[in-house]
Amino acid sequence: MFITSAFAQTAPAAAAAGGDMQSSLMSMLPLVLMFVVLYFVMIRPQMKKQKEHRAMIDALAKGDEVATVGGVLGKVSKLGDSYVSLEIATGVEIQIQRSAVVQVLPKGSIK
Protein backbone atom coordinates (compact mmCIF):
# COMPACT_ATOMS: atom_id res chain seq x y z
CA MET A 1 0.00 0.00 0.00
CA PHE A 2 2.68 2.54 1.04
CA ILE A 3 5.63 0.82 -0.60
CA THR A 4 6.27 1.54 -4.25
CA SER A 5 8.46 -0.41 -6.55
CA ALA A 6 11.92 1.01 -7.20
CA PHE A 7 14.07 0.06 -10.10
CA ALA A 8 17.82 0.46 -9.76
CA GLN A 9 19.86 1.56 -12.69
CA THR A 10 23.34 0.24 -13.17
CA ALA A 11 26.13 2.70 -13.95
CA PRO A 12 29.72 2.04 -14.86
CA ALA A 13 31.69 1.65 -11.59
CA ALA A 14 34.58 3.97 -12.53
CA ALA A 15 32.39 6.88 -13.58
CA ALA A 16 30.12 6.57 -10.51
CA ALA A 17 32.98 6.41 -8.01
CA GLY A 18 34.90 9.36 -9.51
CA GLY A 19 31.91 11.67 -9.78
CA ASP A 20 30.62 10.71 -6.33
CA MET A 21 33.94 11.44 -4.60
CA GLN A 22 34.32 14.80 -6.31
CA SER A 23 30.80 15.94 -5.39
CA SER A 24 31.27 14.93 -1.73
CA LEU A 25 34.52 16.92 -1.54
CA MET A 26 32.85 19.94 -3.12
CA SER A 27 29.99 19.75 -0.62
CA MET A 28 32.46 19.72 2.32
CA LEU A 29 34.50 22.63 0.96
CA PRO A 30 32.28 25.42 2.41
CA LEU A 31 32.39 23.78 5.84
CA VAL A 32 36.19 23.55 5.77
CA LEU A 33 36.49 27.15 4.56
CA MET A 34 34.19 28.34 7.37
CA PHE A 35 36.34 26.57 9.97
CA VAL A 36 39.55 28.10 8.54
CA VAL A 37 38.03 31.60 8.62
CA LEU A 38 36.72 31.02 12.16
CA TYR A 39 40.19 29.94 13.28
CA PHE A 40 41.94 33.02 11.90
CA VAL A 41 39.25 35.51 12.93
CA MET A 42 38.34 34.28 16.42
CA ILE A 43 40.38 31.41 17.84
CA ARG A 44 43.92 32.52 16.99
CA PRO A 45 43.60 36.11 18.30
CA GLN A 46 41.99 34.84 21.53
CA MET A 47 44.85 32.37 22.10
CA LYS A 48 47.38 35.17 21.49
CA LYS A 49 45.59 37.42 24.00
CA GLN A 50 45.55 34.64 26.64
CA LYS A 51 49.27 34.03 26.11
CA GLU A 52 50.07 37.74 26.57
CA HIS A 53 47.93 37.90 29.74
CA ARG A 54 49.66 34.84 31.21
CA ALA A 55 53.09 36.38 30.47
CA MET A 56 52.04 39.65 32.13
CA ILE A 57 50.82 37.84 35.26
CA ASP A 58 54.01 35.78 35.47
CA ALA A 59 56.09 38.95 35.21
CA LEU A 60 54.38 40.73 38.14
CA ALA A 61 56.84 42.09 40.68
CA LYS A 62 56.62 43.81 44.03
CA GLY A 63 56.03 47.55 43.57
CA ASP A 64 54.15 47.22 40.26
CA GLU A 65 51.04 49.35 39.94
CA VAL A 66 48.12 47.34 38.58
CA ALA A 67 44.43 47.54 37.68
CA THR A 68 42.11 44.64 38.52
CA VAL A 69 39.02 43.22 36.84
CA GLY A 70 36.84 45.11 39.32
CA GLY A 71 38.53 48.42 38.56
CA VAL A 72 40.59 48.56 41.75
CA LEU A 73 43.96 50.29 41.37
CA GLY A 74 46.78 49.38 43.70
CA LYS A 75 50.45 48.67 44.21
CA VAL A 76 51.67 45.07 44.56
CA SER A 77 53.00 44.57 48.09
CA LYS A 78 53.27 40.76 48.30
CA LEU A 79 53.32 38.00 45.72
CA GLY A 80 52.15 34.43 46.22
CA ASP A 81 51.69 31.48 43.89
CA SER A 82 48.06 32.26 43.09
CA TYR A 83 47.36 35.42 45.14
CA VAL A 84 48.67 38.98 45.15
CA SER A 85 48.40 41.53 47.97
CA LEU A 86 47.61 45.03 46.76
CA GLU A 87 48.03 48.20 48.75
CA ILE A 88 45.07 50.30 47.66
CA ALA A 89 45.61 53.09 50.20
CA THR A 90 48.16 53.82 52.90
CA GLY A 91 47.91 50.94 55.36
CA VAL A 92 45.03 49.22 53.46
CA GLU A 93 45.85 45.92 51.75
CA ILE A 94 43.59 43.52 49.92
CA GLN A 95 44.34 40.08 48.60
CA ILE A 96 43.27 39.15 45.06
CA GLN A 97 43.86 36.29 42.64
CA ARG A 98 46.66 36.78 40.15
CA SER A 99 44.25 36.20 37.27
CA ALA A 100 42.19 39.24 38.40
CA VAL A 101 45.00 41.58 37.33
CA VAL A 102 44.05 43.11 34.00
CA GLN A 103 46.76 45.66 33.36
CA VAL A 104 50.13 46.74 34.70
CA LEU A 105 50.15 50.53 34.84
CA PRO A 106 53.18 52.77 34.24
CA LYS A 107 55.10 53.72 37.39
CA GLY A 108 53.68 56.79 39.09
CA SER A 109 50.16 56.37 37.72
CA ILE A 110 48.66 56.00 41.19
CA LYS A 111 49.15 59.01 43.44
> What is the per-residue pLDDT across 20-71, written as a single tens digit (0 to 9) for each?
788 888 889 999 999 999 999 999 999 999 999 999 999 999 999 999 999 9
User: CA torsion angle for 33, 34, 39, 41 (degrees, to 10)?
Assistant: 110
Give the model's pLDDT for residue 22.
84
Segments forming the whole domain that contains residue 36: 13-59
Same domain for 23 and 46? yes
Same domain for 100 and 78? yes
Same domain for 55 and 93? no
Structural domain count, the chain:
2
- pLDDT tier at 111 (50, 70, 90 boundaries)? confident
Q: Is residue 66 part of a domain?
A: yes
What is the rounded distance in angstroms from the CA atom of residue 35 to the CA atom of residue 63?
Answer: 44
Bridge partners, 89 (sequence order): 92
Same domain for 17 and 54? yes
